[in-house]
């Protein structure tokens, strides 16, 4: 689908992800923001919530005020369970309207597994098959056939980008993979303090979701499309930083597979992808260079055991893990330059 300019609506514009989305969209050359929607703060200017937003934009309004006949694309940055209701109301009535959902509502292809992970029944089950889960670099040749794009979670994005090419090429042992991910607290949303009540919040590191973080369901889904026999453990942590994710992935490479082979395979796989940066072997790295970008930086390091390696994967959880990837998916969907609005 090719259009020179499109009209977009952002639902959930005042959350952490919503504000990053509005900030990035406001600088995009092909985008007109028609409505900024939220439940509260109706009539207020968006730059009251984020001083980075310099462009004059519509004031915050309720979703019922939108003239859908004039809208091309709806971004939904809503709590889990809400996007499916709104999309269900709009999907068949406005057949030119497309949706990019930043919640988990359309990430899980099996509605029973969705219920098990998110403790709520899916209210738009028939639309799940009309959606596609899209890590941009991995699905860019497929998303044009869909009107509903499920934007991946932040942890799964950081994990799938380095792992999937290596699993497809069968360069690594697909058992005993250990994934240790650390995220800034913005990943928990603006109500993070009500979700995590441990002491010394801004000074401490906190492990949670040990037995089954809800992102495990989408990681399972995508990895098992490659092999049913993949076994891994995943444990997330909150760190006293606002943004950023660093995933440390410990695994065994196959015999006779060198570290350089692993590095070169990833470089070859992502050679046309602007946002993926593969460091030289054994390079130290952290989240500092990805903050405020749509990049995923990856370093592959040899441990002190011959066949054991660790892959470090860093992203900004609010951008590549959410708003930036949503815009990247939009750029692919409408055949805009993939980096537009994201440089």
Residues known to be catalytic: 154
DSSP H or E segment with residue 159:
helix 154-168
**How far apart, in whole angstroms, are the C-alpha atoms of residue 167 and residue 148?**
27
Token pair in block for residue 87:
């999309």
Report the phi/psi class of residue 170: left, alpha or beta, with left for phi > 0 and alpha for psi in -120 to 50.
left
Q: What is the DSSP annotation of 207-257?
A: E--TTT-TTHHHHHHHHTTT-TT--EEEEEEEESSSS-EEEEEEEEBPTT-
Token pair in block for residue 279:
């460091």
Question: Using an 8 Å Cβ cutoff, are 327 and 27 in contact?
Answer: no
Kindly tell me the burial class for residue 141, based on how many C-beta atoms sit within 10 Å of its own C-beta (0-12, 13-18, 19 or more): exposed
**How far apart, in whole angstroms, are the C-alpha atoms of residue 214 and residue 153?**
10
End-to-end CA distance of the chain: 23
């Amino acid at each position: 689908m090719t259009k020179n300019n499109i009209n977009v609506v952002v639902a959930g514009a005042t959350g952490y992800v919503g504000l990053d989305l509005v900030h990035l969209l406001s600088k995009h050359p092909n985008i007109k923001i028609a409505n900024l929607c939220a439940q509260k703060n109706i009539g207020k200017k968006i730059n009251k919530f984020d001083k980075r937003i310099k462009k004059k934009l519509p004031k915050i309004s309720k979703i019922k005020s939108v003239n859908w006949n004039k809208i091309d694309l709806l971004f939904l940055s809503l709590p889990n369970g809400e996007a499916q209701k709104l999309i269900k109301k709009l999907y068949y009535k406005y057949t030119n309207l497309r949706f990019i959902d930043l919640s988990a509502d359309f990430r899980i292809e099996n509605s029973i597994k969705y219920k098990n992970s998110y403790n709520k029944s899916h209210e738009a089950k028939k639309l799940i098959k009309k959606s596609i889960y899209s890590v941009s670099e991995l699905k860019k040749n497929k998303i044009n056939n869909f009107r509903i794009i499920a934007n991946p979670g932040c942890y799964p994005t950081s994990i799938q980008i380095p792992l999937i090419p290596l699993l497809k090429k069968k360069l690594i042992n697909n058992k005993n993979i250990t994934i240790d991910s650390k995220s800034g607290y913005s990943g928990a949303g603006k109500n993070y303090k009500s979700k995590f009540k441990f002491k010394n919040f801004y000074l401490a590191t906190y492990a949670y979701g040990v037995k089954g973080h809800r992102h495990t369901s989408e990681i399972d889904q995508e990895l098992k499309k490659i092999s049913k026999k993949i076994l891994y453990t995943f444990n997330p942590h909150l760190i006293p930083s606002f943004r950023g994710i660093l995933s440390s992935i410990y695994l065994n490479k196959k015999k006779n597979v060198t570290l350089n082979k692993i590095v070169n395979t990833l470089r070859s796989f992502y050679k046309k992808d602007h946002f993926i940066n593969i460091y030289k072997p054994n390079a130290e790295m952290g989240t500092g260079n990805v903050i405020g970008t749509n990049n995923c930086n990856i370093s592959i390091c040899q441990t002190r055991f011959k066949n054991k390696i660790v892959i470090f994967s860093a992203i900004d959880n609010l951008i590549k893990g959410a708003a930036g990837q949503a815009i990247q998916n939009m750029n692919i969907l409408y055949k805009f330059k993939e980096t537009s609005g994201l440089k």
